[in-house]
A and B are shown apart, each in its own frame.
Chain A
């Protein structure tokens, strides 16, 4: 295929949009990049997953560094959970090397359906919990106490320090492993799973959970990328515009997201992900069973 300015520009623009939408939703761009590469550019899903994973590292570096600088990231908690996400990523990427294309498409469609549901039902009641001191007064579990996982950060919006006691380490570790599997297998960051596990089950305020997750995503995606790189699945000429575009889109998206917290926006994305899930399902059925459903333009 000729490597023309037009091809590069369209790839770059699709990646900018994927990174931008991903950041608006508070996730990496992977959830949009893989369907874009598969449905728009007709790339094999494993090449799309590999390209997406590398761009996920780029967005993690870009977004993660600012959270680290502001000390919002809980490094100790992040590194503890990284043990489980990296083992998960290794399992997921090994699985990806052996799974058939149509199975991966079906799994991705299922992930999109889950994400669509999550985007639709997410509600943040963080501020009330911070104000009531709920995060600081919980009891830690044994792992949290031994490894001193609890933390604090300065919340700029509330202009006060927020302390929190980490608990629920077991469930956090289990969900982190699953997030790692999703990352290695499907080329996403798995941030949604990690953030919701930390916020819901580990008593970590939303901002600290997002900052910690952003940092973890990089090393999780690196594990999958190493395996895909050595398997010859990383196509550098595809990866380059995708990584550049995602980084640019995610950077702008993160800036916009801080001013924009619209439930309507999340609902629009919920519908968009349903649409992409349908596209991936259509492709999977066509590949495996030769069933041709209407593509609805995807």
Chain B
């Protein structure tokens, strides 16, 4: 292994706890959404539904929770989609928290900017950019 030049940075790995939490978040998000999607498809097939390609239904939290309790296929698939979308977002959020706990100001800022872009996306979407 050649010696790194004097101006080489310290090879700084992200803290081990960040890797562990990120790995768990990705794994559980994947498992949860897969189960919900599979259950949703099976329930939809058992009900002989028809689907339309018009604007997709916009369900509120209360309607989704009630639907989930009744194993409604749309509610199951909405929950799976939301869980899937939230998995990488949660991954950024836990990394933000872990960097903050480790007092790594630079990377708390970097992950904070990514979270801010995500929040901006939600705001723009809510404002009805379509």
Contacts and interface: CB of A to CB of B under 8 A. Distances in A.
B60 interface: no
B53 interface: yes
Given A148-B9, A244-B38, A57 B26 contact: no
A4 B117 CA distance: 39
B30 A65 contact: yes
Contact of A47 (B10, B53, B106, B107): B53
Interface in A232-269: 232-241, 243-244, 247
A232 B77 contact: no
A54 B85 contact: yes
Contact of A3 (B37, B44, B58, B124): B44
A61 interface: yes
Given A58-B84, A61-B84, A240 B77 contact: yes
A227 B124 contact: yes
Q: Is the interface of B mostly helix, strand, loop or mixed?
A: helix
A52 interface: no
Contacts of B23: 65, 68-69
Given A94-B124, A137-B4, A139-B7, A87 B117 contact: yes
Nearest to A90: B121
Contacts of A150: 8-9, 11-12
Contact of B129 (A79, A149, A227, A235): A227
Closest 3 CB pairs of A and B: A230-B125, A218-B88, A236-B77
Interface of A: 1-5, 8, 43-44, 47, 54, 57-58, 60-62, 64-65, 68-69, 71, 75-76, 79-80, 82-83, 86-87, 90, 93-94, 97, 133, 136-137, 139-140, 144-152, 163, 165, 215, 218-219, 221-223, 225-227, 229-241, 243-244, 247
